[in-house]
Amino acid sequence: MLARSLQQIRRSSRLSLQLRAYASSPDRSASFAKLSEQDLPSLASIFSSPDTSLLTTLGDKPTATNDDLEPFNVDWMGKYKGHSSIIVKPKTTQEVSKVLQWCNDRNVAVVPQGGNTGLVGGSVPLHDEVVLSLSSMNSIRHFDPLSGYVSVDSGIVLENLDNYLAQQGHIVPLDLGAKGSCQIGGNVATNAGGLRMLRYGSLHGNVLGLEVVLPDGRVINGMKGLKKDNTGIDLKQLFIGSEGVLGVITGVTLATPVRPSATNVAVFALPDYESVQTAFSSARRDLGEILSAFEFFDAASYKLVRSHGHAAERKTFEDGEDAPFFCLVETSGSNKDHDDEKLGAFLEQLMESGIVNDGVLAQDETQIGQLWSLREGIPEAAGKAGRVYKYDLSLPVEKMYSLVPELRQKLAEKGLLAAESEGGNGDGPVKTVFGFGHLGDGNLHINIVADAYRKEVEQVVEPYIYELVAKYNGSISAEHGLGLMKAPYVAYSQDAPSLDLMRTLKKTLDPKGILNPYKCVTAE
């Protein structure tokens, strides 16, 4: 019994630690109605198959247990937990429309949910909001092989869509770590960035059409597969990246490029951040149209991967293991010989001019995977080293890395940086501060690894890092969005008139504020 209770104590203390991030979350708004058993028959009547479309723990004869509802109530990190007792899974746009109309009429708050893979608490309820899951809407509606335009239900999983397109010789112009779970509708709603953005650009350019249900149930049908259509305000753009606070995306038409037939990857070591910038500039010029990724990571990141990651067992370089910076460059094209020649010439020129200390070029698919793991393995390695504070920032490339030494210095000044860390001067709790990210998109991931989540670390970092971002005219959220986590900090990235206009738009499209409340943009 004692062991058990200790375990319970440990669990609850861990939970309170995890909950810390949203301890000051907004209270439930009294303007929203509370649903009870009496409301269920009317709600159920919306669905052609209520047995599979309505999950609820309410009433004497609940159709689901709390365990059934947990995947909808809790985000995948287990960091955010809501308390919804009603999950609806409509099968058609018409049903989505009726659900929203029903909720709007009754002042019922709703959280639209895709694959629930977000990192900022935007896709789970905070209190008792109804969860509107798009997962039962996952059909491919149409693919036009000539133009490469594909129209799909918004609930299709990204990887399933990419697999389908691969059979057609095409590719989704978007790739994410969460591709096995995330849904295209959620990707569009959060304007997901990811790994292919340098090459194919943002969803604002690649989304050709959206079908959206407004909070009052009206359906905006903009699914035409047209690249050019200048007939009034481009409504779909309003919903791309607005995190489900203005409408629910039920259909997406995407322009999909032809799948590249050749891919190359190289990783190289560089003597300083100026060289990283020069190498990037040369890559844009010399690799031009075949450049598909330009990632970077610092010595501290590489040390982590070598200590804790898959790459632990082997050296990568003959003569560059101790370099302060590393870059990964990927090319994708339609002709392997041409791409090899371009990449070879590029690397040779970098070596000759001394911009690069040492480098390796993948010889086959396996080596491509191994080189990518040096970059992609960083977050996992960090997790093994301790508790990680993660910041996803957008900054002008030239100023991008300076945040890392500035942050180190700040932590050192306060005596929080352990001696083992770069610039460390004492026995502080912070083991390492490191930076890596999508250099080509100006997207820096800055991570801090500490022995535990500590208030004194957070207090030094959190106003300070947002202030630095504001000083450099950056963004406090490059690709993750605001959700619940960053909504209170948005003023570090947006000025007052912009925020005012966002609030006005929210109020105009969702006067009762029922859609994804408390997050991203609210009317007040």
Using CB under 8 A, which residues numbered 180 to 239 contact a copy of itself? 190-191, 193, 197, 201-202, 204-206, 214, 218-222, 224-235, 237-238
- C-beta closer to a copy of itself: residue 256 or 357: 256
Encoded one letter per residue, x for contact with a copy of itself by CB under 8 A and - for no contact, window 404-433 reads ------------------------------
Gap between the Cα atoms of 319 and 270, Å rounded? 11
- C-beta closer to a copy of itself: residue 94 or 202: 202
| DSSP symbol at 49 | S
The verdict on 344 binding a copy of itself (CB under 8 A) reads no
- C-beta closer to a copy of itself: residue 39 or 339: 339
CA nearest to 397, candidates 317, 515, 284, 510: 284
In the complex, least distance from residue 348 CB atom to a copy of itself, rounded to whole angstroms: 15
Total residues in contact with a copy of itself, by rule CB under 8 A: 96
The torsion defined by the Cα of 307, 310, 314 and 317, in degrees rounded to 10, comes to: -90
Contact 81, 66 (CB under 8 A): no
In the complex, least distance from residue 443 CB atom to a copy of itself, rounded to whole angstroms: 5
In the complex, least distance from residue 164 CB atom to a copy of itself, rounded to whole angstroms: 18
Gap between the Cα atoms of 123 and 120, Å rounded? 8
Pairing of strands 325-333, 291-298: antiparallel
In the complex, least distance from residue 436 CB atom to a copy of itself, rounded to whole angstroms: 15
Contact 162, 270 (CB under 8 A): no
Contact 164, 140 (CB under 8 A): yes
Site for a copy of itself in 236-265 (CB under 8 A): 237-238, 240-242, 245-246, 258, 260
- C-beta closer to a copy of itself: residue 59 or 169: 169
User: Which residue in 188, 328, 460, 520 binds a copy of itself (CB under 8 A)?
Assistant: 520
CA nearest to 157, candidates 188, 180, 129: 180
- C-beta closer to a copy of itself: residue 333 or 359: 333
Contact 424, 303 (CB under 8 A): no
User: Which residue in 10, 285, 384, 390 binds a copy of itself (CB under 8 A)?
Assistant: 285
In the complex, least distance from residue 497 CB atom to a copy of itself, rounded to whole angstroms: 5
CA nearest to 244, candidates 187, 192, 189, 185: 189
Runs of H (alpha helix) within 309-453: 336-352, 365-376, 378-385, 403-413
The verdict on 482 binding a copy of itself (CB under 8 A) reads yes
CA nearest to 523, candidates 69, 29, 11: 29
Encoded one letter per residue, x for contact with a copy of itself by CB under 8 A and - for no contact, window 361-400 reads ---------------------------------xxxxx--
3-state secondary structure of 226: coil
In the complex, least distance from residue 255 CB atom to a copy of itself, rounded to whole angstroms: 8
The verdict on 288 binding a copy of itself (CB under 8 A) reads yes
In the complex, least distance from residue 403 CB atom to a copy of itself, rounded to whole angstroms: 14
The verdict on 280 binding a copy of itself (CB under 8 A) reads yes
Stretch of residues binding a copy of itself (CB under 8 A), selected from 43-51, 71-79, 273-281, 319-327: 273-281
CA nearest to 487, candidates 523, 435, 449, 448: 523
Site for a copy of itself in 104-163 (CB under 8 A): 144-148
A 10 A CB-CB count for 103 gives: 27
- C-beta closer to a copy of itself: residue 340 or 380: 340
Strand order of the β-sheet with 54-56 is 54-56, 86-88, 130-133, 110-113
69-84: b (≥16 Cβ within 10 Å) or e: beebbbbbeebbbbeb
In the complex, least distance from residue 58 CB atom to a copy of itself, rounded to whole angstroms: 33
In the complex, least distance from residue 137 CB atom to a copy of itself, rounded to whole angstroms: 19
Stretch of residues binding a copy of itself (CB under 8 A), selected from 22-30, 152-160, 374-382, 474-482: 474-482
Cα–Cα distances in Å, from 56 out to 66, 90, 136, 514?
9, 14, 16, 19
Sign of the C-alpha dihedral computed for residues 72, 112, 380 and 377 taken in this order = positive
Site for a copy of itself in 299-338 (CB under 8 A): 332-335, 338
